[in-house]
Amino acid sequence: MVDIKWDDSLSVNVELIDHQHKELIKRISDISEAVDTNQSPEVIVNTLLFMSEYADFHFSTEERHMKEQNYPAMEHHLKQHEEFKSMVQTMIMDFKEEGATPALGKSINTYLMNWLIDHIKGIDLKFGEFLHSSGFSE
């Protein structure tokens, strides 16, 4: 299981976005726990769906700020969000078809955590810097 804890290196210095990132980390940890404790495939799928819905909510927050601030890298950022949503839908289908195998559970947990951390550190931090340099305030 990949276990990620929030630390200041993940902060984009926008309170709402940081709060949502913390919640996404928690929800991905919930998926990992469901797999590790051999929950039924239905529980894992429902946990994935719940995380997916929260990710959509979070992405819409970021996208709204991008549009409001005319973020120049918005297209690239939105493409990453779409790729993530597509991958999560594939994972849900895999769980429905294959059940909760340890290998599938581990790969899903590793992918989700790695994607989120890479996205925050590689993409969202730049967006946070842009927001602050353009005078954004919450």
Q: Which residue has the higher pLDDT, 80 or 104?
A: 80
| Residue 35 CA from chain centroid, whole number | 18
Share of the chain above pLDDT 70, in %: 97
| pLDDT surpassing 90 at residue 137 | no
Cβ contact 19:38 at 8 Å = no
CA 19 to chain centre: 12
Whether residue 3 has pLDDT greater than 80:
no
- Over the stretch 68-99, which tens digit does the pLDDT of each residue have? 999 999 999 999 999 999 988 888 888 778 77
pTM metric for this prediction: 0.86
Q: Are 95 and 104 in contact (CB under 8 A)?
A: yes
Residues 45, 105, 90: CA angle, nearest 5 degrees: 55
At residue 64, φ and ψ (nearest 5 deg) are: -60, -45
Q: 13-17, 71-75, 87-91, 123-127: which range is least confident on average?
A: 87-91
What's the CATH number for 8-133?
1.20.120.50
